Chains A and B, each alone.
Chain A
Amino acid sequence: DAMRCIAVRGVWKYNRISPNERKKFYEDVSISHGEGGMFEINLDQRKLKTPGGKLFTAPNEALAVAVANEWDTQKDTLKFYSMHMTTLCNTALDNPTFRSKDQIITAALKYLETDTICYRVEEPPSLVELQNNEWDPVLKWIEEGYNVVIGSSTNILGPEIPQATMNTFRQHLGSYNFWSLTGLEYVITQLKSVVLAFALIDKHITVEQAVLLSRLEEEFQIGHWGNVEWAHDVDLYELRARTAAGALFVHFSSESSTVKRKLMQD
């Protein structure tokens, strides 16, 4: 069937495997040490490359294993849409949008103006209450923890973020390396919230909690109108997977490359 379709030329060229997927072309996956303490991924005898054509390198073993596992668990077709750690590493390595750290920080902080948990509804009362109960504590956590003012608003323009707040966050984000920032921006765009991303990255909440808080209104509506598996659940699992990958990516990228060991005193 696949052979027949691929052989067709001209206007009706198509194949049974969607462009998101590709046939698996290797058997064994392994990692190996490369130059400068970096790790490489081997698919049989071939070294994995980025979409940009560079040699794929991960800065530490944890990341390398996470990526290798994604390739190792593929079956007959490679489902690239599910390989989030690989995608994140590729983005960090290729930097396809040619952005500097500063530009990424600016882009990331832009989300604060329309932060999910700062943008409140005025009705129905049950949703208002839900938002207050679930979102106010996280807001309080970040304001106290970072000594900033953010606030929430029912205004269509959202809350007005003081410049001092932006400065504090900009300085904080500046302390992250490029890889970590790539991951952090990714988490922010997935959750549509700087506040939730910080709460997750600082390990104040779990991935599941962050996703739930991000999708609060959606969950509220599902509670009212019912769940549609092929839409709601697909979105939920995908968001969880992506957010989890982003959080892990930041965690692994932030660690020093030397293993932190505690000496065992006998």
Chain B
Amino acid sequence: MASLSSPLRLCRGILREIRAIKGPEYKQSLAYNYVLDQFRKNQITGERYCRAQEEALHASHSYLCLLTSTRQHIALYDMYHGKGQRDTEEMAGIVGLRLPTQPGGKGWEK
């Protein structure tokens, strides 16, 4: 079985991710309250080893991974692909060309 962080570390990690995205009002967010609630509920067990707990731990780990990776992906994506479509003049300029001018405009332009 893969070694996982403790519930406390995972909970903190997830809440930290939520805070990073949501900002100062993160405690009001839907996810924050649900996550906190779930971790509290899952503490209720008398047994040391519990299959359901192991599964919940794995799921929490996966959720933390989802939040972290999504954030990291978006950050890099924005950096490298974020410009979206550039207009044609910019595009031409990137490869050192200029758009041709047509006095009187093209036929279909107003």
Q: Looking across the interface, which residue of chain B has its beta carbon closest to that of A83?
A: B70
Residues of A within 8 A of B52 (CB): 260, 262
Contacts of B73 in A (CB 8 A): 82, 234, 237-238, 240-241
Q: In whole Å, how far is A149's beta carbon from the nearest beta carbon of chain B?
A: 24
Known A-B contacts A206-B62, A230-B80, A247-B62; A237 and B31 likewise in contact (beta carbons under 8 Å) = no
Within 1-43 of B, Cβ neighbours of A (below 8 Å) are at 1-2, 4, 18, 21-22, 29-31, 34, 38, 41
- Residues in A neighbouring B58, C-beta threshold 8 A: 203, 206, 251
Stretch among A14-22, A115-123, A218-226 lining the B interface: A14-22
Partner among B41, B44, B63, B74 whose Cβ is within 8 Å of the Cβ of A82? B74
Q: What separation, in Å, do the CA atoms of A260 and B53 have in the docked complex? A: 11
Interface pair A251/B29, CB less than 8 Å apart: no
Verify A31–B30 contact, CB threshold 8 A.
yes
Q: Which of A30, A85, A207 contacts B30 (CB 8 A)?
A: A30
Tell me whether B62 and A14 are in contact (CB under 8 A). no
Stretch of A5-13, A95-103, A160-168 that contacts chain B: A5-13
B34 contacts which of A15, A65, A82 (Cβ < 8 Å)? A65
Contact B63 A248 (CB under 8 A): yes
* Interface status of A61 (Cβ within 8 A of chain B): yes
A206 to B69, CA, bound (A): 14
Q: Which of A62, A79, A81, A84 contacts B66 (CB 8 A)?
A: A84
Contact status B70-A248, CB under 8 Å: no
Number of interface residues of B (CB under 8 A): 41
Q: Which of A84, A206, A229 makes the CB contact (< 8 A) with B76?
A: A229
The answer to whether B80 and A234 have CB atoms under 8 Å apart is yes
B85 located at the interface, meaning its Cβ lies under 8 Å from any Cβ of chain A in the complex: yes
B44 closest partner in A (C-beta):
A264
Q: Does B101 contact A (CB under 8 A)?
A: no
Q: Which of B59, B70, B109 contacts A84 (CB 8 A)?
A: B70
Is B100 interfacial (CB 8 A cutoff)?
no
The yes or no answer to A233 lying at the interface (CB within 8 A) is yes
Judged by a CB distance under 8 angstroms, whether A68 is at the interface is yes
Chain A residues positioned under 8 Å from B55 (CB to CB): 203, 251
Is A233 a contact partner of B76 (Cβ separation < 8 A)? yes
Q: How large is the interface on A (under 10, 10 to 19, 20 to 34, 35 or more residues)?
A: 35 or more
Chain A 41-76, CB-CB to B under 8 Å as 1, else 0, gives: 000000000000000000001100110110011000
Residues of A within 8 A of B61 (CB): 206-207
User: Across the interface, do B44 and A72 meet the contact criterion of CB distance under 8 Å?
Assistant: no
A15 to B84, CA, bound (A): 8
Q: Does B46 contact A (CB under 8 A)?
A: yes
Beta-carbon contacts under 8 Å, A147-182 to B: none
Does B108 sit within 8 A of A, measured CB to CB?
yes
* Interface flag for A132 (CB, 8 Å): no
Chain B residues with Cβ below 8 Å from A248 are: 59, 62-63, 66
Chain A residue contacts of B4, Cβ below 8 A: 206
A and B contact pairs by CB, cutoff 8 A, 12 listed: A17-B84, A68-B31, A82-B74, A204-B1, A206-B61, A207-B65, A233-B72, A237-B69, A237-B72, A244-B65, A260-B52, A264-B44
**Could you list 10 further interchain pairs (A-B, Cβ under 8 angstroms) beyond the known A68-B30, A237-B76?**
A12-B88, A15-B85, A16-B84, A62-B34, A81-B77, A203-B58, A234-B73, A244-B63, A248-B59, A262-B45
Q: Which B residues are closer than 8 A to A by beta carbons?
A: 1-2, 4, 18, 21-22, 29-31, 34, 38, 41, 44-46, 50, 52, 54-55, 58-59, 61-63, 65-66, 69-70, 72-74, 76-77, 79-80, 84-85, 87-88, 108-109
